[in-house]
Structure formats: structure tokens, C-alpha cells
A and B are shown apart, each in its own frame.
Chain A
Amino acid sequence: MTQPGRLPVPCPLGFWVWLGSQGAEEFGVSGFGSGDCLAADAGVLGCMGLTGSCVAEEERRVRANAREYNEKFQYASNCIKTSKYNIVTFLPVNLFEQFQEVANTYFLFLLILQLIPQISSLSWFTTIVPLVLVLTITAVKDATDDYFRHKSDNQVNNRQSQVLIGGVLRQEQWMNVRVGDIIKLENNQFVAADLLLLCSSEPHGLCYIETAELDGETNMKVRQAIPVTAELGDTSQLAGFDGEVICEPPNNKLDKFGGTLYWKENKYPLSNQNMLLRGCVLRNTEWCFGLVIFAGPDTKLMQNSGRTKFKRTSIDRLMNTLVLWIFGFLVCMGVILAIGNAIWEHEVGVCFQIYLPWDEGVHSAFFSGFLSFWSYIIILNTVVPISLYVSVEVIRLGHSYFINWDKKMYCAKRRTPAEARTTTLNEELGQVEYIFSDKTGTLTQNIMVFSKCSVNGHSYGDVQDMLGHKAELGERPEPVDFSFNPLADPRFQFWDPSLLEAVKLGDLHVHEFFRLLSLCHTVMSEEKSEGELLYKAQSPDEGALVTAARNFGFVFRSRTPKTITVHELGQAVTYQLLAILDFNNIRKRMSVIVRSPEGKIRLYCKGADTILLERLHPINQDLSSITTDHLNEYAGEGLRTLVLAYRDLEESYYRDWSERLHRAGSAPEGREDHLARLYDEVEHDMMLLGATAIEDKLQQGVPETIAILTLANIKIWVLTGDKQETAVNIGYSCKMLTDDMTEVFVVTGHTVLEVREELRKAREKMMDASRSVCNGFSYQEKLSSKLTSVLEAIAGEYALVINGHSLAHALEADMEVEFLETACACKAVICCRVTPLQKAQVVELVKKYKKAVTLAIGDGANDVSMIKTAHIGVGISGQEGIQAVLASDYSFSQFKFLQRLLLVHGRWSYLRMCKFLCYFFYKNFAFTMVHFWFGFFCGFSAQTVYDQYFITLYNIVYTSLPVLAMGVFDQDVPEQRSMEYPKLYEPGQLNLLFNKREFFICIAQGIYTSILMFFIPYGVFADATRDDGAQLADYQSFAVTVATSLVIVVSVQIGLDTGFWTAINHFFIWGSLAAYFAILFTMHSDGLFRMFPNQFRFVGNAQNALAQPTVWLTIALTTVVCIVPVVAFRFLKLDLKPELSDTVRYTQLVRKKQKAQHRCLRHAGRAGSRRSGYAFSHQEGFGELIMSGKNMRLSSLALSSFAPRPSSSWIETLRKKKGCEGSSAGSPSGADKTLKV
């Protein structure tokens, strides 16, 4: 049994690849073609992927063990395919796809134009060289991507599973599994398809699964076969099973399934409780059999995954618009020049025919104008050079590598560097306005730590020297030594020795406190060998509490349906378990009723303080008020609190009550209500024991990161599947919510009307407040909010908490705008109990109405939809599997890196891309527009100003690398400053650095340059002669002069634009100039001319022209005239209206620490209001399961049967799981976890 491995190969697009027990090494990875779905069954495949083209399935009929029967429905096979090409189709398909890009087609069109001699104003190679270059690069990239997709497809498709065929189990590859097959799964295997659970090794057909890959929940879940099939124990019986399932068609609802099993003329209803979904992992179950209902693309997982959308950045879109505009501009220029040509040919050209007759076939000036239009389209096409797209890609690739290489985003503990999985989105990281974050595993580590407790009015757990942050190990004293207790969990740490002393001194309250913790829970224990206890907790909270009790000497050892055995300070005591009053959302508490060995009956209860404190006996009043103080204190620190209480029950009372309970339990209707009432009755007049405080450990640096991101004007929404209380708690502990907030609106309505009403009220309140502030009525309030908040944009700070079921209503078409308005007016938004789909909907909503860049960050499979929907998806690697990472655009292992990703990398990327684009458009306009001006002096004949080689190489060689270097390396302020002044992030959000206005400025500058570039040499050359008397103004010398000035001017300009000089910048800029002259002299050399006289006509031109002082004087003049206004303008702007970044650059001498900010981070909201909840993230129903004894086989009942099992996998799994939930050191996977306890 291998551990879940990480993906061995980068898999940029194959989002659905799970890697678990079956690693890549197990099956040879085949290359293109082999093991492909196409080979496996081409017939079915025609349908998949394009389900739309098939007739929609209305219901699904599946008969077990009847392949022929099922085949007529043509259900999708279990093979999935994400790759696009195979070796044969690659070239045509890829080229076809590439030519679907407008740009490529455009250049192809140009190429064809250039082949027409009447039109061709340039040689064909000026276009084909760049085009081929671009096509090749893209093709290589596509091929690599697809290769990895093939690899991962093969990996998944070739996983083995045991299929029951003809009464025998056969090893088959996943892709060969058909609908209607019965397959056998073993422990820790991935479920291959959506199965109907038929039977399992566990009693009652139970089966445990982990659904982390599917919905992100790490809790183990129970599935149960329907009783009739659960009895089918062996293969022969199963082979004879011929039931037929009629069920719903494939859909993406993870938690719903409806169908009926027809077998032996009986009907059995089926629900989700009977289903094993693809992507789950079988846990704690030796084996099970299942009937394949949905396979391959029809599985709920695949249906849920949605299509991978190609994400484009807003700059991309803007760029495309601008390119269209430029194209329009190009056509306009073409038309102007064509008209000019027609007029010229009509007025002058006709007469000039004695020296220059019209081309054959040209009989009118009008037709000549028409041809000249196309000729000009060809020579002016360089305003949108094809190298633009390539350069943009290269720059983004460079930025991605910077992210990948960033040491400061490398998590040493998990050995995971940050990874830019998409290379196309970098600059959008500099424009993010909304962050949607998952909670568990993203903000928190999903580790619960028993942190503090209050027993009988005494608070334990405080560390004397420091109250603040818990992470710094160095500042803490030695942890409490639990070595006296052989059963203690070595990973548990506690810092206050007085609690242990109290236990040792025999403080009865403390004993009772821990006794309660060891009894009142639904944890299952397992003891492999003596003393090696493993707890299987439904929720990490419970695990933390039971583990705490264990370490303090009250070791929960084992349980049976009727008993609980606890080692109390070394002595085994067995309590008789009379009842479990299970947890549910409304009760917010759970109780157990136990009979101690002495025969006393006692009810132990733990629950939310709001509920429990009201149910205490009046004599607890004093204690209750002290405990309340403690609770406030704990809550202020963001801890999750629980209140513990007990009640002694009279034997007779209990008899009576249990009698009634029994009756209520078997009542045909209103059972729930009856039970609730009875529970309510008995949980009364309780004696307060104390309170516990559990720390839901935040990821490192979360509050700081959130604070800085907030300062950068980024709004953070938390979308979590967790409960409201938990989510709110975390909101407080990561300082998204503070007590200084004017109000936190909670929307929990169950109906449309309620939700609408609640939203309306919230809006009204906000509006009232701001109105009154405006009128100066509540000046006080304004003042106070000003004092407390760093950012003061709106009148008050509000937060919105909305529940999943309310959200469902709020997201309906007629209310979504209302909801969005309300939510966006709030500083913080927390959505709890949301489904993966809702997460995506929320993101979609903001995207739709806000025109803002959204970023979604999450770590679990339940975040996949949101990650894919948002403009940018970030996956947290290393916690809950890798689905989120695979779907993400960026991944790293800690939430705090987000700060660096956005404020440093994103900001820089944006800045660089903007500067790059500005410069790029500038240089091409400066370059191309010269032709336009020249047109007026050459009879609009589409004669180029430059040598054709210069035109070919200008964008590829002479000016490409310096601007690339700037696009890759430039920065305005160093990284520390971006973190210090989050405000620097704002230009990106407001899209200030590259927008239509900036674009026009660049274009104007380019045109200005082109005018000077043409008219200054024109002025000089008009009458000038060389210093040897010969003509200076010959065409070739003119071309060389203009080209040289152009190269020099754009080089100086890039020097001005470069804000950050690296050696590479120097090298590229000087190198480009050197290359220009080198190539110029080579092209104009005798040798080349002798070989190809017709190709290198400029022979001798460079040395003749550049030897002239006049030429150099012209170049110098042009350069100065082009550059001086730019410098003057920039200087004025800097001097009079500096941008923040300029100021920061200028005042880099000033170090301004964020002391104020730190202060506000650390100490804001100390006096916390109490907001505690029964913060258990587990479901109800486990109590019943325990009491029924159905699942008892694992522990006491079946220890013996477990022992001889050769495989140690079960223990390994549990330990690993434990390692994930509990604490770190020791376990083999410990290295993957960041844990500081």
C-alpha cells in the first residue's frame, strides 16, 4: 500500500487526475495513442464529451450482469479523455485550431496578398518568417500539453479494478468497465465509477468512504447497501444477481440520487445513501461490491467538473479590442492612401507613363488605387505585428518562472514551491479586487487544538509571558510533561502545568470535567496493540477534546453499544451507556446518559454556551458569571468554546424518561418532535462544570495577510461549507470581522421573502447610517469608526454573513443584484454552508455585475468549481488532495503567500505588461507610420521607406529583446515597498496603467515620432549632397538614415521606460543596437551581394551613408527631438503630480514600518463579545449508529478478527488520517503538514 503520491509530472490541464494508491509507476505510462479510449471502444466515444449531440437521456436502465442488454442504450464507457490530438491528427487539427485565431488567419491572408505581384510591396518572407516561428512555438507547446494529458488519461484509464465477469473476478482496466458491471473494491481503493453499493465486508452492508476528492470534506462518511443485496456475500451469488436499476439520468448533484431497484419482482427505493461515487476512496472497509450505474463522463464527479474554460485576462481582451481598432485604423490609412494613389495616378501618373507605364491589367487610376490599398495593408500591417502575441506569451512565461522560483513562496515544511500552472494570467494578479476564499484548509489548517479551559471558575491554559500569537515556539515555556500517563498521545501539547497539577491533586471538578470529555462524544477508538490508541473522530473538534481528556488521565479506551470503557488515572472504569442524545443544529448540544460502576445515573452534556447557560440550575449563577467572563475572553481570542455541564438523574426518573423515550422512538409519526421534547426535558437544571476553548488553528500569517490585502483595497469573501458559527468564529480570528464593525448582518432566512426582507433591512441600515453621517447627525459614530479603522471609505464597517439556504434564494435571478449590492457594501462577506456549485455562482455573480477581477482560493475538491469560475483560481496544495491544485491557475501551500503573489508578483506583472504594451504599440507606430508619410512623396505607390530586411527584422531582432527584458524584469519599486504600501496595488485595480487613454497616448507618441522620423531626414536630404559632392538623397541612403534613427530612438526610449536596470537589460539594449549595425553592414556587404545580387541591393550603402557627418547629425537631431518632449513631459508629471509609486521610489530613504498596522492587527477587538457555537462540524446521526451497534465491528467486537489480517494498511491509513487531523511529528506523512502546536 503506497501513500497517496503527488503528481509526478506537471499536468497543466488534466484537472481530474487523482493520484492515490495506484501511482504512475504501477502502470507503465504509454505515450500517444496506446491505451487510448479511441482504441478501446470507438463506438461509445462518439458520444462522449459532446453529450449535447446525443439524445438526452430521460432515465437510465441498468441491469446487472447483462452487458448485451445494457449495450443497446449506448451508455458512455468508463473511459475519460481530455486529450485533443493523437499523432496523426495533431498537425491538421492543431493548425486548424491555430488558424482559428484571428491573428494567425490575418497573417496568412497577408501572406497570400504578398504573393500577388501587382500588390506585393514586400517580399513574402517578411511575413512568413514570423508566422512560421509563431506557429511552431505554439504547436510545440500544444503538443507538450497534450502529451501530458495523454499521460494522465492513460494513467487513470489504465487503473485496475476487479470486474465480475461470468462469475469470476477479472482484472480489468478502468476504461473497460461498463455500465451494469459488478466490480469489487478493496480498502483504500478509488471508486472507479458511480456504483450502487451491493454488499460489503462490514456488517449490515456498511461501507466507509472518504469524499475529500469529491466535496472536500475530510470526514469519513457511511454508505449502506440496501438489505436485500447486502446478503449477497460471495461472487457466485453476485454473478446470479440480475436486478435492474431504473434511475435518474446523469446529473451533477452530488448529494442526491433517486432510483429504484427491481429484483425478483420487488421494488426497492434507492437513495444517495446507497451510492459510491467516483472519486471517493474506500476506507476502513475490507471490500465491497458495487454495480456500475454511471461511468466515465456520466459520473457525478465528471459532471461536476465542468468544462475547462480558457481564461483570458482583461488586458488580453483590451488588447484584442485595441488590435481591432488598430486594424480599423489600418484600413482607414489604407483607404486614404488608396484614394491618394488613385488621384495621383489620375493627375500625375498618367503623364508620367512615358517613364513608368502602368502595370499590365491596370487601366484606370481607380483600379490602381484599389491595388495600392492592398499593398498598403501589407506594408502597414506592422502596426499589429505578429510578434506582439509571441512576446506577450514569453513575458508571461518569464513571470510564471519568477513565481515558481520565488523562495519566499516556497514552503520548506512541505517542500512545495509556488507554481504558476497557467502562464497566461499573471498580469491579472495585479488587478484583483475580490478574493473568494475557502475556509477549511485555506484560512485554517483544519486542526483543532485543545487550547484553554475553564473549570469551576478557574481558567487554565494561559501562558503567562505572552498572550498574543501562538505560533512562535521560541517564546513559550516547555510544554506540560505527560509522561506519567502511558496512554497519553505524544503529539498533544499543553502549556499550563496548573491543570495537570489540579488533576494530580484530585480536584473533583477537574476530574468530572475530563470524565465528561471522555464520555460525552461519538468518537470510536481502536487499539491495535496495548496502549496504542487511535481515535476516529467525526469532527476534529471532538477528537481534540477526547485527546485532551486522554492526556490528562481520562483515557477513552473502547466502547460497545452499551458501554464505554475509560481509564481514569490508570484505572479501567466501565460506564454503562444508557442513551446518546445526539447533536443537531437546533439543539446545538449533545448529551450522554451513563450509569457509573457505582450505579449512579448521570447526564453529561456539552454544547453551545448560549443554549447551555440557560439550562443550568439556578445555584450555578455565580459560577456561570465567572465562566461567562472566561468564555468572553476565549471568544475574544477567536477560540471555539463549548460549555460542559452534568446532571444527576434519579433512577426512577430515568426509568420513566427512558420508557417515554422508547415509546417516542417507535412512534409512527412526529418522532423527531417527540424526541426533541424529551431531550429538552432531561437536559435541564444542569450543574455547570466549565468550558473548553478549542483553537481552530489558522494557517500562518492569515490575519496579517488579510489585513494587508484589505489595505490594498481587495475585498475578501469567505465561502465555506462549514457551519455559520464556525465560519463566523474564523472570521473573527482572522480579523475579517472585528468587534469594531458597525454591524454584522446575518441572513438565515429559509424562504425567498425572508431573505429579501433581511437583505432589504441590511441595506436600509447601511443607508440610514451613511445618510445620518452625511447629515452630521451621528458625528460620534463617524468619529469612532474613524478611530478604529485604518481604511475609511464608507461610513461604517459592515459585514454580511449568509447561510447556504438563504444564499440559494439570494442567487435567484430576481434577487441576485440586490444581494450583490448589499454584499459589496460590506467590508466582509461570509457565506456558510454553501455547496460547490453555489461557490461558483457567487463568483459568477460578482464577475457578471462588477467588472472586477476575481480570485478564488481553495484547497479542496469542493472549491474546484469556484476556482474554475473565477478569473484566477488559486489552489492550496498539500492539504486535501490535489484536485483544487489541478484545477487552479496558481498553487502554493500557504494562504499567506497570496499576499506576495498579488502585491509583488501580480503587481509587477501588471506593471510590466502595461509598460510592455505601451512601448510595443509606440515602437510599431513609430516604425510603420513613416510609410504613411512617405506615401505622400512617392506617388502613394506603397514604396517602403526601409529595406525589406529591416522590416522583417525590426520586430524580431532589433527591438524585441530590450522590450522583452523590460517586460520580464522591470519593476518600479522593490518588493519590500509593495508590501509596505499596499496602496501601490490600486492602479492595477483601477486599470490605470494600460487603458484606452494610455493606449492613445502611446499611439500619439508613436505617430509624433514617425512624423519627425520622416520629415527631419526629408528636410535635411531635400537638397543636400554628400561631402564628396554626390547625391545624398538617394533612396537607399535615406532608408538607412531613417532606419538608424528609428532604432536609436526606440532604444533610447526603452532606456527611459526601463525602471529597473539589470545586466540583461543593458545587454539586450546595447546588444540590439550592436546587432542592428552588425546586420546592417552584413546585409550591405559585397560578399552577400555577389551571391544574391537581386536580394541584397543595398550593397555598400551602409558604409557610404554612415560615413557622412550629415547623416549622423540628422540622426542626432531626430533622436533629441523625439526624446526631449517625452522627458520633459515625464519630468513635469513626476515633479508636479507624482504617482504613489514614484513617491515611494523617490523616498526610498524613508523607512516607514507598519507599526501602526501591526498594533491594530494584534490588539483590535480584544474585548470580544461572546460568539461561541457548538462548533462541531459533524453531522447528526452518529449517536444512533453507535447505539445500534452497527458499526461496532471495528473496535471491541471485532478486534480478534482484525488481528490475523496480514495487511497493516488499515492501521496505516488511520494513522495517516490521524496525522492529518491531530498533530504532526512522527508520522511518515508528517512532513507534509505544517503544524505548530
Chain B
Amino acid sequence: MSCEEQLRNGGCLASRKGAFGDGHRSLCNSLRQGWEIAGIFLSFIKPFRISQEREPRFSQRRGGQALEQVARKAGESPSPEALRRREGQPILTAGTVLPAFFIIGLIFIPIGIGIFVTSNNIREYEIDYTGTEPFSPCNKCLNVSWDSPCTCTINFTLEHSFESNVFMYYGLSNFYQNHRRYVKSRDDSQLNGDNSSLHNPSKECEPYRTNEDKPIAPCGAIANSMFNDTLELYRIDNDTRTPITLIKKGIAWWTDKNVKFRNPTGDGNNLTALFQGTTKPVNWPKPVYMLDPEPDNNGFINEDFIVWMRTAALPTFRKLYRLIERKNNLQPTLQAGKYSLDIAYNYPVHSFDGRKRMILSTISWMGGKNPFLGIAYITVGSICFFLGVVLLFIHHKYGNRNTSADIPN
């Protein structure tokens, strides 16, 4: 077998330097296996080497043969041969597959352990304040409606202190923010400050498009169902309630806040004037331009609103509510101890068996607590490694010693 063919078919570099006898085939094979691991990347380079070698021979063969020339004229322009020369035929051999399995195993297991450890170091505290249980302080608010606010207070104890910045979430369960009719029920053009859409919202917003012949701003079911419980956190230290500063800005994506959501523009900065002629969503207690006293957090660019408008993928979800920044390096953000959560209970979920939660969590480089990912990585890595061992065993015990004798003719 000529070197070119070896190169072309299996890609044995070693034999390129000279003719190897049969005795060297094993060497050649092992080299080739190594070669194949590099596979995809090297096959970019390989064709060039081959074509350099082969080109002169091609031209010699063709040269002077007029009929061949005719042939080329007659039926072929970019013959597939040109492509075929840049070929590589990878094949799943023990030399490629088994190392790959081991390598995957060896990479995945440490990553998994890393993630797992990181995830375990994250502090997270969760309170369900739905109030379905009779003894819950919020039980009284269970049948709340939009216009009769109710407050309740839940006391809780943090066993461990939260060292770094703490993120405060509200979590909803059994809430189908990913329902098709829900997801589409918005007008992004309106939310982007388009004046014509403001006064004439998209049909997608139905039935929350207009109310009493006035266009609703913001329109649609998503906006209408905006979460409007107010959560306040107090540290209870020797019976004194110290409020904890909750930062409400910086909880939305930058792109959402600056690109996707914009207040309508017009004369002056008076939002009330700009939203003139529109009406508030049915469920809202106050119009959109009164969401927040600060002008850069009011109207469509109110961050609570933006966070709500970024619909969740799954019926159980948590959304960022407030940030608690660590004040100095000496004290943890939230010390271990007693706390109380004051809830202005406005948002009814009981009717559809929904749950409401308040979550406090720290985060790491990979976000919040996420045990699944670490365990999955460790499991997959182990399986790969194990599979590698099993396959190696099978290969050695039963593996096909491919020889020419196997080829029937």
C-alpha cells in the first residue's frame, strides 16, 4: 500500500517519511490513532500536505493527453475529485473513543465537585408566606382581593449569617407565566415608549387592551397580573426592629432597563402628562406613572415592573425583589439571628393553588444555589469514566481484531 493511500485513508503520518514494512504497521496504527484524536482540527491541515504531494503527479498524468482534456471540457468543471483529495475518514476506534471517555470523565468529575461545593456554600433561606395553613400569620389575608390590602408579619430566625451581598426574591408556584396566551399578551412597542402603541395597543393585549374606552398602559395580561405584595425585612435585636435597607434598583437586566423598556417621550418629563389619555391596568391600584417616586424608576422603566415582565420559563419561579448590600467588611450582611418579614399582602394566589415565597440568598460565580448541576456533572463524569472502563474491558476481551481475513470476497 502506498503512502499516499495510507495518508488519504487513515492518515498515518509516520509512513510518509518512507516505506514501512508490515512489521511497522502497529506503530503506524498507534500513530494513526493518536492522529485521529486530533481529528477534526488536523484534517484541515492534512489535505494541504497531501495535495502538495499529489499535485505534480496529477498534472503529469494529464499532460499531453488531449482526450482527457476533452473529457474535462465535456462534462466536468469542479470535479468532486478536487474535494475528495481533501478527505479524512474518521472512524470510531478504541484509540479514539476510550481516551475520549476517560477524558470526559476526568474533566466532568472535578467540575461537578467544584460546582457542588460552591453551591453548598451558598446560604439560602426561604419562607412560604402564602398562608394556607391555619396557624400562619398570613392566613387572615388568604382571601385578599385587589382593593382590600392586608398586612401580616412573619418572624423567622437565620441560623447562619449571610456574609456577602444578599438577594431577596419572591417566588411563585403554580403560576403559569409561560402560558402561550399569557406570554403573548403584551405590547413591546408600547413598553418601548412608542406613542402610537401607547394609545392604540396591540391586539395581542386583549382582553386587557382597553378599559372604559381608554387604552390600558401597560396593556396585556402580564402587566395586569403584576406581583404587588410589598415585603419589608426587619432585624429583631433585643425586641427592637431595625429595618434592613432594601435596594430596589439594579435588579433588572441592563438591556431591559435601557433598551427594551422606555417611557413615552414628549414635551417635558412629566410622566403623568405623557400617559395622559391612558388608563391603568384593571388590577393595579395606581397608574403606571405612580409606581415609584423616583423618576428614573417610574413608569415603564420601573424595575419591579421590568422584572415581572420578563416572564418565567416554568410555573414555579423566583424573581429578584430587592438587594441587600453588605455595608462593611467587618459585619456580615445578615447576621444570624431573628428577623421579621412584614408583608403587605395584596396578591391573591390561593384561588389557583399558587404559593408565594420569600427567599434570601447569597450568590457565587455561578449564581444561586444549584445542587442539580453539580450532582449531574459528577454523575455524568462518573458514568463516562465507568463506561470507558467497561468498553476497554469489552474491547480487550471480545473486541474485533480487524484483519483482512474478515473480509469475505
Contact = CB atoms under 8 A, between A and B. Distances in A.
Interface of A: 117, 121, 348, 351-352, 354-357, 359-360, 375, 402, 404-407, 410, 412, 415-418, 711, 790, 937-939, 941-943, 969, 971, 974, 981, 983, 1016, 1018-1039, 1055-1056, 1058-1064, 1066, 1086, 1089-1090, 1093-1094, 1097, 1099-1101, 1103-1104, 1108-1110, 1113-1114, 1117, 1120-1121, 1124, 1127-1128, 1130-1132, 1134-1138, 1140, 1142-1152, 1154, 1156-1157
B19 to A, nearest CB: 13
Nearest to A1152: B404
29 contacts: A407-B72, A412-B68, A412-B71, A415-B70, A417-B75, A790-B409, A937-B315, A938-B178, A938-B179, A981-B407, A1020-B376, A1023-B368, A1023-B370, A1031-B310, A1033-B312, A1037-B313, A1061-B89, A1089-B260, A1093-B191, A1099-B259, A1100-B253, A1101-B255, A1110-B373, A1120-B380, A1124-B101, A1136-B398, A1147-B403, A1147-B406, A1150-B403
Given A942-B180, A1113-B115, A1124-B384, A1136 B394 contact: yes
A1033 B366 contact: no
B241 interface: no
A418 B75 CA distance: 8
Given A1025-B367, A1027-B364, A1086-B255, A1113 B373 contact: yes
Contacts of A1031: 169, 307, 310, 312, 317-320
A361 to B, nearest CB: 11
Given A1033-B313, A1061-B89, A1120 B368 contact: no
Given A355-B224, A412-B71, A943 B352 contact: no
Given A941-B179, A1148-B10, A1149-B1, A1023 B318 contact: yes
Nearest to A1017: B313
A1064 B85 CA distance: 12
B167 interface: yes
Contacts of A1113: 111, 115, 366, 373, 377
Question: Interface centre among B74, B177, B319, by most A CB within 10 Å?
Answer: B74
B330 interface: no
Contact of B391 (A1086, A1128, A1152): A1128
Contacts, number: 342
Question: Interface centre among B187, B311, B317, B403, by most A CB within 10 Å?
Answer: B317
A417 B387 contact: no
Given A1093-B189, A1110-B367, A937 B314 contact: yes
Given A939-B176, A1035-B313, A417 B71 contact: yes
Contacts of A407: 68, 71-72, 75-76, 79, 81
Question: Interface centre among A942, A1059, A1062, A1121, by most B CB within 10 Å?
Answer: A1062
A273 to B, nearest CB: 44
B377 A1144 contact: no
Given A1022-B316, A1108-B367, A1113-B377, A352 B259 contact: no
A1093 B192 contact: yes
Interface stretch (B90-98, B133-141, B291-299): B90-98
B88 A1061 contact: yes
A1027 B366 contact: yes
A1025 B320 contact: yes
A826 B221 CA distance: 77
B374 to A, nearest CB: 10
Contacts of B44: 1063, 1066
A308 to B, nearest CB: 25
B264 interface: no
A1127 B92 contact: yes
A1094 B408 contact: no
B155 to A, nearest CB: 24
Contacts of A941: 176, 178-182
A969 B363 CA distance: 50
A1121 to B, nearest CB: 6
Contact of B91 (A410, A1026, A1114, A1146): A1146
Contact of A1147 (B68, B203, B319, B407): B407
A1100 B370 contact: no
B408 to A, nearest CB: 6
Given A1117-B377, A1130-B92, A1146-B91, A1027 B407 contact: no
How large, as a class, is the contact surface on chain B?
35 or more
Given A356-B181, A1023-B318, A1117-B377, A1035 B311 contact: yes
A1035 B315 CA distance: 10
B252 interface: yes
Given A415-B74, A1022-B316, A1031-B318, 10 more contacts: A351-B353, A356-B179, A406-B75, A983-B408, A1027-B364, A1034-B313, A1035-B313, A1060-B89, A1061-B43, A1117-B380
A1039 B311 CA distance: 12
A1099 B174 contact: no
Contact of B259 (A355, A1034, A1086, A1148): A1086
A1029 B255 contact: no
B285 interface: no
B253 A1030 contact: yes
Interface string B90-115: 11111001001100100010010001
B182 A355 contact: yes
Nearest to B80: A402
Contacts of A1151: 1
B409 to A, nearest CB: 7
Contacts of A1132: 391, 394
A1142 B91 contact: yes
B286 interface: no
A1055 B40 contact: yes
A1018 B182 CA distance: 20
B344 to A, nearest CB: 19
Contacts of B277: none
A1127 B314 CA distance: 32
B225 A355 contact: yes
Question: Interface centre among B83, B179, B221, by most A CB within 10 Å?
Answer: B179
A969 B90 CA distance: 14
Nearest to B373: A1020
B189 A1094 contact: yes
B79 A405 contact: yes
A1037 B185 CA distance: 19
B206 A351 contact: no
A410 B367 contact: no
A1051 to B, nearest CB: 11
Interface in B382-409: 383-384, 387, 391, 394-395, 398-400, 402-404, 406-409
For the complex of A and B, the 4 pairs showing the least CB-CB separation, nearest first, are: A1100-B255, A417-B75, A1038-B313, A1150-B404
B25 interface: yes
B348 interface: yes
A1038 B314 CA distance: 9
Nearest to B375: A1019
B255 A1062 contact: no
Contacts of B311: 1034-1035
A1146 B314 contact: no
B331 interface: no
Contacts of A359: 181
Contacts of B89: 971, 1059-1061, 1145
Contacts of B94: 1131, 1135
Contacts of A938: 176, 178-180, 315
Contact of B307 (A981, A1030, A1035, A1157): A1030
A1136 B408 contact: no
Nearest to B71: A410
Contacts of B314: 937, 1018, 1021-1022, 1033, 1038
A1027 B363 contact: yes
B282 to A, nearest CB: 10
A404 B75 contact: yes
A1113 to B, nearest CB: 6
A357 B207 contact: yes
